[in-house]
């Protein structure tokens, strides 16, 4: 599996310049409790690579998976790559890193 770890500053820059689509794979209750501004939710428990691929294609921005700490986002990458996708980037620190750094949340 090909994995590219991104740090908080890279994710912040991608969101700020509008080039990055953050796909949050945490569960709905986690997402509702707080998430990275602009992130879309696709919980790992009901993850559908075809639906996520369609979202990525329609959106056109660079897709980056995120979760709480970088574990579930790796599972999402594996599911995507197993379905033929070349998506490889995830936010290594996830929401915990974002929140701990005092970044804004929605």
- pLDDT tens by residue, 9-41: 999 999 999 999 999 999 999 999 999 999 999
**If you ran DSSP here, which 8-state letter would residue 17 be given?**
T
Classify residue 23: in a domain, yes or no.
Answer: yes
In the chain, how many domains are there? 1
Grouping H, G, I as helix, E, B as strand and the rest as coil, residue 60 is coil
pLDDT at 85: 97
CATH of the domain at 37: 3.40.250.10
- What are the angstrom distances between the C-alpha of 3 and each of 29, 35, 81, 90, 92? 27, 22, 10, 7, 10
pTM above 0.95, yes or no: yes
Classify residue 57: in a domain, yes or no.
Answer: yes
Grouping H, G, I as helix, E, B as strand and the rest as coil, residue 26 is coil
Alpha-carbon distance of 73 to 58, in angstroms, equals: 21
Query: What average pLDDT does the segment 47-64 reach?
Result: 97
Confidence of residue 47 (pLDDT cuts 50, 70, 90): very high
Confidence of residue 66 (pLDDT cuts 50, 70, 90): very high
pLDDT at 54: 97
Provide the domain limits for residue 19.
Answer: 4-100
Confidence of residue 102 (pLDDT cuts 50, 70, 90): very high
Structure-block tokens of residue 11:
């994710």
């Amino acid at each position: 599996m090909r994995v590219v770890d991104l740090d908080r500053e890279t994710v912040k820059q991608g969101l700020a310049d509008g080039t990055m689509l953050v796909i949050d794979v945490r569960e709905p209750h986690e997402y509702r409790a707080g998430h990275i501004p602009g992130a879309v939710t696709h919980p790992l428990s009901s993850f559908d690579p075809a639906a996520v691929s369609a979202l990525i294609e329609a959106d056109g921005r660079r897709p980056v998976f995120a979760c709480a700490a970088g574990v579930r986002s790796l599972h999402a990458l594996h599911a995507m790559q197993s379905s033929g996708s070349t998506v490889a980037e995830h936010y290594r620190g996830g929401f915990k890193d974002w929140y701990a750094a005092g970044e804004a949340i929605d």
